[in-house]
């Protein structure tokens, strides 16, 4: 029996099975820790929480979430507007200060921020796209 375990073929099969078991264990562990995956915003409550996490004291009154959940817009009582977008497995947020980079195309609202590293974001807002585009025209008007 010991001679059979010592053959190179059996050793390779055992090594393969051990590696496969380790990979499955790591995949299971990553799933339990909620690592990776496809993060999305699952509603206005989650978008509000992301806005509050990004800017302390930001109390979102109006929120709209992209139909696919990749981004959102949130406005507080002071008129500040935050753009939230997916960034890897997390979300990044920028405050909009001007309507200069806002473009409406049907139900899509494309927004370019002052931060070039943040990039341009296109949100599918459905019927709310026109409403938000009109409200964003007021950004920076008092400046």
- Is 75 found in the same domain as 26? no
CA 3 to chain centre: 56
Closest CA to 58 of 78, 87, 86, 83: 78
- For the stretch 65-71, contacts whose Cβ atoms lie closer than 8 Å and that sit 24 or more positions apart, written own/partner, are 65/41, 66/41, 66/123, 66/124, 66/125, 67/124, 67/125, 67/126, 68/40, 68/124, 69/40, 69/41, 69/42, 70/40, 70/41, 70/123, 71/41, 71/121, 71/123
| Confidence bin at 143 (pLDDT 50/70/90) | very low
Residue 11 lies in a domain: yes
Q: What is the pLDDT of residue 5?
A: 58
CA distance to 1, 69, 90, 134, per residue, from 129 (Å): 73, 15, 24, 9
- Say which residues have a Cβ less than 8 Å from residue 93's Cβ, sequence separation at least 6: 50, 51, 54, 55, 82, 83, 84, 85
- Is 60 found in the same domain as 16? no
- Is 91 found in the same domain as 69? yes
Residue 125 domain boundaries = 44-136
- Is 99 found in the same domain as 63? yes
- Is 115 found in the same domain as 74? yes
Residue 142 lies in a domain: no
- Is 49 found in the same domain as 27? no
Closest CA to 140 of 95, 106, 90: 95
| Alpha helices (H) along the chain | 2-5, 8-32, 44-54, 128-136
Distance CA 125, CA 106 (A): 9
- Is 77 found in the same domain as 100? yes
- Is 78 found in the same domain as 15? no
Q: What is the pLDDT of residue 3?
A: 58
Looking at the structure of the chain, the number of domains it has is 2
- Is 65 found in the same domain as 26? no
Residue 38 lies in a domain: no
pLDDT tens digits, one per residue of 43-66? 999 999 999 999 998 999 999 999
pLDDT tens digits, one per residue of 76-102? 999 999 999 998 878 999 999 888 889
């Amino acid at each position: 029996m010991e001679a059979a375990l010592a053959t190179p073929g059996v050793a390779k099969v055992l090594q393969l099975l051990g590696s496969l078991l380790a990979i499955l264990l790591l995949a299971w562990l990553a799933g339990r820790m909620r690592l990776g995956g496809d993060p999305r915003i699952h509603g206005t409550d989650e978008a509000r929480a992301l806005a509050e996490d990004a800017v302390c004291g930001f109390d979102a009154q109006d929120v709209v979430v992209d139909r696919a959940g990749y981004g959102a817009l949130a406005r507080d009582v002071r008129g500040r507007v935050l753009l939230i977008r997916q960034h890897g497995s997390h979300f990044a947020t920028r405050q909009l200060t001007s309507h200069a980079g806002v473009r409406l195309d049907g139900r899509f609202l494309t927004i370019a921020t002052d931060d070039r590293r943040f990039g341009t974001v296109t949100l599918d807002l459905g019927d709310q796209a026109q409403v938000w585009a009109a409200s964003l025209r007021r950004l920076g008007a008092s400046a």
